[in-house]
Amino acid sequence: MRIVLTLILGFWVVSVHAAGNQALLELLRALHENGTIDRQTYDLVIQAAEQETPAGAEQLQATDETSEQSVREMIRHEIAQVTTKESKKGPTVRVGGRIQLDAATFAEDQARHNDGTEIRRARLFASGELSEYWKYKLQYDFTGTGIDGLQDAYLEYTGLDLFNIRLGHFKEPFSLQNMTSSKYITFMERGMPHVFAEGRNIGLQLHRGGDNWNLYGGVFGDGRDGAGSDNDEGAGFAGRVTWLPWRYDGNLVHLGASVSHRASGSTDTLRFRERPESHVTDTRLVDTGTFDAESFTRVVAETAWVHEMFNLQAEYYHTSVDREISTNPDLDFNGFYVEGGWFITGESMNYKKSGNFSRVKPKTIVGQGGYGAWQLAARYSNLDLDDGDINGGEIDSFTLGLNWFATEYLRFTANYVNVLEVDGGPLSGDEPDVFQLRAQLEF
Amino acid sequence: MRIVLTLILGFWVVSVHAAGNQALLELLRALHENGTIDRQTYDLVIQAAEQETPAGAEQLQATDETSEQSVREMIRHEIAQVTTKESKKGPTVRVGGRIQLDAATFAEDQARHNDGTEIRRARLFASGELSEYWKYKLQYDFTGTGIDGLQDAYLEYTGLDLFNIRLGHFKEPFSLQNMTSSKYITFMERGMPHVFAEGRNIGLQLHRGGDNWNLYGGVFGDGRDGAGSDNDEGAGFAGRVTWLPWRYDGNLVHLGASVSHRASGSTDTLRFRERPESHVTDTRLVDTGTFDAESFTRVVAETAWVHEMFNLQAEYYHTSVDREISTNPDLDFNGFYVEGGWFITGESMNYKKSGNFSRVKPKTIVGQGGYGAWQLAARYSNLDLDDGDINGGEIDSFTLGLNWFATEYLRFTANYVNVLEVDGGPLSGDEPDVFQLRAQLEF
Amino acid sequence: MRIVLTLILGFWVVSVHAAGNQALLELLRALHENGTIDRQTYDLVIQAAEQETPAGAEQLQATDETSEQSVREMIRHEIAQVTTKESKKGPTVRVGGRIQLDAATFAEDQARHNDGTEIRRARLFASGELSEYWKYKLQYDFTGTGIDGLQDAYLEYTGLDLFNIRLGHFKEPFSLQNMTSSKYITFMERGMPHVFAEGRNIGLQLHRGGDNWNLYGGVFGDGRDGAGSDNDEGAGFAGRVTWLPWRYDGNLVHLGASVSHRASGSTDTLRFRERPESHVTDTRLVDTGTFDAESFTRVVAETAWVHEMFNLQAEYYHTSVDREISTNPDLDFNGFYVEGGWFITGESMNYKKSGNFSRVKPKTIVGQGGYGAWQLAARYSNLDLDDGDINGGEIDSFTLGLNWFATEYLRFTANYVNVLEVDGGPLSGDEPDVFQLRAQLEF
């Protein structure tokens, strides 16, 4: 801005002065006095103008090197000023967030599920750069209480060739649907085996990636808030590799694998339980209850395929548990989901270089003469929490979804969830249905 | 910005090039290299400049259509760039908030009220446009815990001629003093019958308005956080109509009516109770206790009158309750308030087209040679929570207020509340006084 | 921006119109229509252009006063517009914050301390000016729950010669290490006698300062959230004076004194207890337990010395308690710390005019070819909570610290804390060690 201003003033004053228009020179002085241009700039401009120049366009042909020097100096001064000012301003801050509003109605079978509305997520974040190569993000979800609402709180250094370093509280690298933001998953809730994903912890992660692959690895503590009272905090490591064996335009095949190992620490116990892919109810259909665990290891095999307006995605999860009480048998749980989508309006899933799906870009926008993007989707999910002495139950579920991306930042989703069967566990035989709606905006 | 830059550069380079000033062309090149102007712009400018043009002002008369075309193209390119960049930037975000600090001292009678200080409200919000016609707001009050602190979280579409649509968590349309922001009400707390107002819920509202009328209607769930454990969530609808039968300059008469019907859902109970128009104490002077209720309907008649520096405002509330236990008698509660104000310094109440009062604009500002706006005000409130088997008590209260609007965004308020009588209920005969102060800022 | 635009357009259109280039005039019209320039500006520019002017450079020599007037008017209009627009925008808002991530491991002795990680602070703030002289700040720490996370929430008026006035929720003026932001203290935690500092309350403070001195005084309530249920809220006053008897370049000697008196109010009790200078553990090594107290007075003597890359700092605290139960003996507790630092890389502590230390500015920046600032530091702390009938214990502790200021806004700290002795109290004889790390960023 200042550069342009100076250039203009420089050119203008040279002309003006040459032409002897005192009134305009006074305006320049006024601009200086009211602070629009600073002293140094003003002096340089006047100095440039005071070079003897012929009237009219001829002054532009001036070969006077001093004048040229003045202008150059002026420019350099301005650029320096802008730079200084920016570095003085310090870190950049961008504020953004998301709101997700849900409503659900249930066709109950055995267990009670209350119809109702809910604010699923209401997040605010600040992110930016502390200085070149040093990025940060701080994100809070107002649906959480106290420290439990804290989401991302990390620092990232991108100045090394070999890898990027991330330090702080963020998602352990694990599974495609887990690493895809809740804003960009196809259905309202992730497929049920997401129960095995670790979520966010305080840790240190290295990431190296190319155009068609990524390698993530990190070590992590347990939670946001120090250890419990009995024992040292649990800790673990996690890693994820993604690879695109084939990519052409928007069409691609994604393959990936994740692993996460963790000492359960503190309480030396674990519990897995899951809702029927709706968060409005608090009733869990499968539930292992609390059991003793020394450590546990989870692996995921990931696949996805995008072909223009179509996509398929599937993941298989396996979890093995080493028990704390040595006489108890080790445990194996697993689950998988398969989902597919079709953009009726011709859009395509948006795969990011980081190995995850991102914001869908509608071809037309509601409010600007368009009707947005429309996507039909279906998913089959399975989660088996039965093994050894643990009878948590196995659940199969089928979901139909309709997404309406009214604009790039606004999305409406309808999901019909049909729980096909609960086999074993506290609610064996339960087969409820859910119909639910979400309005989601991000900024 | 970029458009100006290009225009200038276009004009300048044409002149410059014509005049053969290579030094300035080098500057242009430098500007391009340091990223101030992009490649395409640079090329267009140079291309425009390289048209054969005579020296001096004559080139402006050039009838060369190609040159004119180049400039047009340049402009279009720049406008496109700006547009693209803005749409890339995505939603706009404005961050704002409010702080209200209270101190109160009580002349107690029967019940205990503790003198003290309190942060009444400490809110932060982000609001803006997702894209044209799509507005949003996310607001949190840090005096709340977890999700209970969430205030506005909504989306609004203003692209239809017929009505605006609002979806999310926001205030049900009901009553003038309720819809007027807590920043802009005349006294520190709203008049006591505000106990009947529903507050914010998740819902969908339609709004249509003209220059002197508004019609609001919506359906709403109950609360922010899904249903309780016993039953489906409560739900209801609310509507409000406002009309200015007379308006001339700042002088006006406001008439309005609100209605709200609600099935109590979840617990099938209700409770109404109210403090003595001070939030520093937690003691309620009237209290129905919890009673069974299947549904309830509330209506309000609203009036207001503004004549230059004077204003009057009054509302009457009626609430009827259908009991859950059919042998219990249906109930009727009611209340009203009448208030008036006088701006000693000559300002006037600021009535918004939306049918509510808004920010007072002082004629002079403290810190800029002025003394702000000063307003004297008085209010009489009545709330009757006695009916049938419910003996909640009836209360009458008189309040004197002094408002000092030091700047448009800063206000100090002193209130003297004299509880005239409590008749019936748990604290029958209690007549405490309150003197309280508030400092309020908004940004 | 608009000023430049107008100036340019003015100059340009005058030339253009004179030269009869209709195409460019059309562009001007287009710019007006798409909203880049407003109606009034457009009219003024056209009007200026329509003055009869000779072609080419000669028009600049125009002595036509009307034309000059038009341009002047145009400028004034633009300046007024910019000013109006800014005042319409109202308060300025800057968003910032901090993240502190800790990890600690303990060499336990008697008491249990769990190894672990923790988000020590995660704060977001908005600050700015409501209008000239009226500043505000609202800051929240997401590690707190509900209102307890609220930090600064205040208003400050700087328009008086005599003193600045601050009103709201902020730190009572007390002690050098207390008033120095947690971002800028030398070690991860403040020295143990910080237990006597009052922290933030709602109050009113006056501040007057010169180049080398400050005087702070204020009255304060107790907490953020009104009184407890038994009694009126506690209240107190606090004052602090700082003085630089000697300052030369970055070298200085700081002397200061603080006093704080407080009626304990509400519960009429007190409790002092302290962790071993690590916040990851919740175990306190010294603890008076709850005891009756009517009022208490705390004084601090502060000293600091900065000589280029070296600094020393020491404070002595004394607390006297008047008991509520008159037969109980009055109590005296005290503590002190001495600390010193050495910037290996040649930086210096950054002392602010306000009488506190602030952000260290590294000479070189990591990510820009530098290695940041490195500082070695050591501290000895003592806290004695034994007196009369209260046996809280006395503790001595020694800490070694290493600070790496990678950039001005990013800092890594390693602390080794060696508890030398606990004498008396619930954990008499305990001598744990702590090794802890912190990553801290601010934006």
What's A427's DSSP letter? T
Q: What would the mean pLDDT of C63-70 be, rounded to a whole number? A: 45
User: Which chain C residue is nearest to residue A146, measuring alpha carbons?
Assistant: C145
- pLDDT of A5 reads 44
In this predicted model, which residue has the larger pLDDT, B63 or A332? A332
Amino acid at C173: P
pTM for this predicted structure = 0.83
C-alpha B136/C-alpha B129 separation (Å) is 6
At C303-328, the pLDDT tens digits run 999 999 999 999 999 999 999 998 99
Q: Which phi-psi region, left, alpha or beta, contains residue C274 (left: φ > 0; alpha: ψ -120 to 50)?
A: beta
C-alpha C11/C-alpha B7 separation (Å) is 12
Contacts of C57 in chain A (CB under 8 A): 15, 18-19, 55-57
Ranges in chain A annotated CATH 2.40.160.10 = 94-442
At B116-145, the pLDDT tens digits run 999 999 999 999 999 999 999 999 999 999
Query: A150 vs C142: CB contact, 8 Å cut-off?
Result: yes
Q: Which chains touch A (3 or more CB pairs under 8 A)?
A: B, C
Q: What would the mean pLDDT of C235-256 be, rounded to a whole number? A: 95
Phi first, then psi: give them for residue C75, nearest 5 degrees.
-60, -50
- pLDDT of B274 reads 96
Contacts of C222 in chain B (CB under 8 A): 116-117
C2's enclosing H/E stretch is helix C2-19
pLDDT at B65 over 90: no
Are A214 and A206 within 8 A, CB to CB? no
- pLDDT of B89 reads 64
Amino acid at A423: D
- pLDDT of A69 reads 53
Contacts of A79 in chain B (CB under 8 A): 34
Give Rg (Cα) of chain A: 30
C-alpha A318/C-alpha C285 separation (Å) is 45
In this predicted model, which residue has the larger pLDDT, A273 or B24? A273
Q: What would the mean pLDDT of B162-173 be, rounded to a whole number? A: 97
Q: Which chains touch B (3 or more CB pairs under 8 A)?
A: A, C
In this predicted model, which residue has the larger pLDDT, B231 or A90? A90
pLDDT at B255 over 90: yes
Q: Helices B2-19 and B39-50: crossing angle, nearest 10°?
A: 30
Query: How sure is the predictor about B31, in pLDDT bands with cuts at 50, 70 and 90?
Result: low
CA angle A73, A75, A76 (to 5 degrees): 65
Q: What would the mean pLDDT of B301-327 be, rounded to a whole number? A: 96
Query: B30 vs A75: CB contact, 8 Å cut-off?
Result: yes
Percent of chain B with pLDDT over 70: 79
Contacts of C96 in chain A (CB under 8 A): 91, 93, 126
Bridge partners (DSSP) listed for residue A41: none
CA angle A378, A384, A388 (to 5 degrees): 175
Helices (H) and strands (E) in chain A, counts: 5, 22
C-alpha A53/C-alpha A39 separation (Å) is 23
* Buried b or exposed e, range C56-83, using 16+ CB within 10 angstroms: bbebbbbeeeebbebbbebbebbbebee
Q: Which residues contact B80 (CB under 8 A, 6 or more apart)?
A: none
Structure tokens at C425: 């109290």
What's B265's DSSP letter? -
Window A:3-62, CB contacts with B under 8 Å: 3-4, 7-8, 11, 56-58, 60-62
In this predicted model, which residue has the larger pLDDT, C432 or C224? C432
Tokens 């802890």 — which residue? Answer: C436
- pLDDT of C317 reads 98
Give SS3 for B410. Answer: strand
Structure tokens at C35: 């909203």
Are C329 and A92 within 8 A, CB to CB? no
Tell me the CA end-to-end span of chain C in Å, nearest whole number. Answer: 28
Structure tokens at A63: 């070969």
Q: Which residues contact C136 (CB under 8 A, 6 or more apart)?
A: B99, B441, B443, C91, C127, C128, C129, C130, C154, C155, C156
Window A:214-273, CB contacts with C under 8 Å: 221-233, 266
Contacts of B122 in chain C (CB under 8 A): 138, 140, 147, 150, 153
Distance to chain A for C334, nearest Cα, Å: 30
Q: Which residues contact B140 (CB under 8 A, 6 or more apart)?
A: A122, A124, A142, B123, B124, B125, B149, B150, B151
Query: B367 vs C93: CB contact, 8 Å cut-off?
Result: no
Distance to chain A for C114, nearest Cα, Å: 5
Query: B56 vs C57: CB contact, 8 Å cut-off?
Result: yes
A370 close contact with B: CB closer than 8 A: no
Helix, strand, coil in percent for chain C, rounding step 5: 20, 45, 35
- pLDDT of C57 reads 37
C-alpha C197/C-alpha C178 separation (Å) is 7
Give SS3 for B185. Answer: coil
Are A306 and A351 within 8 A, CB to CB? yes
Tell me the CA end-to-end span of chain A in Å, nearest whole number. Answer: 27
Are B252 and B246 within 8 A, CB to CB? yes
The superfamily in CATH containing domain B94-442 is: Porin (2.40.160.10)
Query: How sure is the predictor about C26, in pLDDT bands with cuts at 50, 70 and 90?
Result: low
Q: What would the mean pLDDT of B258-283 be, rounded to a whole number? A: 92
Residues of chain A with confidence (pLDDT) below 50: 1-24, 27, 48-49, 51-68, 71-72, 74-75, 78-87
In this predicted model, which residue has the larger pLDDT, B164 or C38? B164
Are B17 and B50 within 8 A, CB to CB? yes
User: Whose CA is closest to C167, among B440, B122, B115?
Assistant: B440
pLDDT at B325 over 70: yes
DSSP annotation string for B280-337:
S----SEE---EE-SEEEEEEEEEEEEETTEEEEEEEEEEEEE-SSTTSPPEEEEEEE
DSSP annotation string for C138-201:
EEEETTS-GGGGEEEEEEEE---SS-EEEEEEEE-S--HHHHS-TTT-SSSS--GGGGG---EE
At A340-364, the pLDDT tens digits run 999 999 999 999 999 999 999 999 9
Are B14 and B44 within 8 A, CB to CB? no
pLDDT at B377 over 50: yes
What's C439's DSSP letter? E
Are C239 and C232 within 8 A, CB to CB? no
pLDDT at C66 over 70: no
User: Which chain B residue is nearest to residue C34, measuring alpha carbons?
Assistant: B79
